[in-house]
Copies of this chain bind each other. A is one copy, B any other.
Amino acid sequence: MTDGVPDWLAVDWGTSNLRVWAMTGDGRALGLRTSDRGMGRLAPEQFEEALKECAGDWIAGPVTAIACGMVGARQGWIEAPYIAVPAAPLGDRPVRAPTRTPGLSVHILPGMSQDRPADVMRGEETQIAGFLARSPGWDGVMCLPGSHTKWVQVSAGEVVSFQTYMTGELFAALSGHTVLRHSVGGDGWDDAAFAEAVEDARAAPERLAARLFPLRAEGLLHGQTAAVARARLSGLLIGAELAAARPYWLGQRVGLIGEGTLAGRYRAALEAQGVPVETADADAVTLAGLAAAWAGIRERA
């Protein structure tokens, strides 16, 4: 950073939000600016202006921005085609986005795809690359909780396979758009109810479908609180995910990316199964992944 101008910009551009960090040449973040102009509400020709509006005076002179996330989807700024697994995340040829601003160069990192079972990711590959940049040689399974939680098998620096679970979105749809909305409202939580429900669903996943409506009926008949119902719904869905993802975590060490509330629930659920978990901060590995990509671009320049 010279005279208030960042050496480069790190950009995490998802469906709903845009986040831009001013970065130093050695990978430190000096500041963060955010916007709600996510990819979902922008036409291709609007991305450049949205980035400039969010970054403000960080785009005053020549600067390079490295971006990951849905900005590289077919409906984004420009498509950054998926890299098929097994492969190292990020590859070595980010896609250059078209720009009109003199001196501004924007590189968009590709997502990853898997042929069978069909699956895709955009954004998580950058976190995986960042995790590996910080822990070279790490082998194992990563879990990236979110609306769409990813389980990722990593070996020898490559993503070998991965699987997406819509658990977070399922929780939102059930608690917002079904009769359960009357039973799980508010922000209440009950750790014991969560733990019990994870175990119920993990141990007998074939009974999951029978366990949803009782969340409503227990309230009607027995006065079950919204806090218990809410924690139990979350536990049932995460337990069902653990049942399905068993081949990923059984007998493995798990790298959990994220340190917020949701990641804490995954950690509790995994540790209850005796799985050793190491956590990494999501933003830190995102920035490490973008920094690795920036270094690669600079080397090739």
| Closest CB pairs A-B (n = 10) | A118-B217, A205-B206, A164-B213, A210-B244, A173-B173, A209-B244, A118-B218, A206-B243, A173-B177, A209-B240
Assess whether A220 is interfacial by the CB under 8 Å rule.
yes
Residues of B within 8 A of A213 (CB): 119, 148, 164-166
Knowing that A118-B224, A166-B180, A209-B237 are A-B contacts, what are 12 other residue pairs whose CB atoms are under 8 Å apart, sorted by A's residue number? Answer: A114-B217, A117-B217, A119-B214, A120-B217, A148-B213, A165-B209, A165-B213, A166-B213, A167-B209, A170-B178, A173-B174, A209-B245
State which size class the interface on A falls in. 35 or more
Q: Once the chains are docked, how many angstroms separate the CA of A113 from the CA of B167?
A: 30
Given A169-B179, A178-B169, also A206-B209 (CB < 8 A): no
Are B163 and A210 within 8 A (Cβ)? yes
A72 CB, nearest partner CB in chain B, Å:
13
Assess whether A207 is interfacial by the CB under 8 Å rule.
yes
Partner-B contacts on A (CB < 8 A): 113-115, 117-120, 148, 163-167, 169-170, 172-174, 176-180, 205-210, 212-214, 217-218, 220-222, 224, 237, 240-241, 243-246
Among the listed B166, B167, B206, which residue makes an inter-chain contact with A179, where contact means beta carbons less than 8 Å apart? B166
- Which of A119, A174, A206, A220: most chain B Cβ within 10 A? A206
Are B165 and A244 within 8 A (Cβ)? no
Among the listed B120, B167, B179, which residue makes an inter-chain contact with A148, where contact means beta carbons less than 8 Å apart? B179
Among the listed B113, B178, B207, B241, which residue makes an inter-chain contact with A209, where contact means beta carbons less than 8 Å apart? B241
Are A164 and B217 within 8 A (Cβ)? yes
Among the listed B113, B206, B244, which residue makes an inter-chain contact with A221, where contact means beta carbons less than 8 Å apart? B113
A41 CB, nearest partner CB in chain B, Å:
15
Residues of B within 8 A of A244 (CB): 206-210
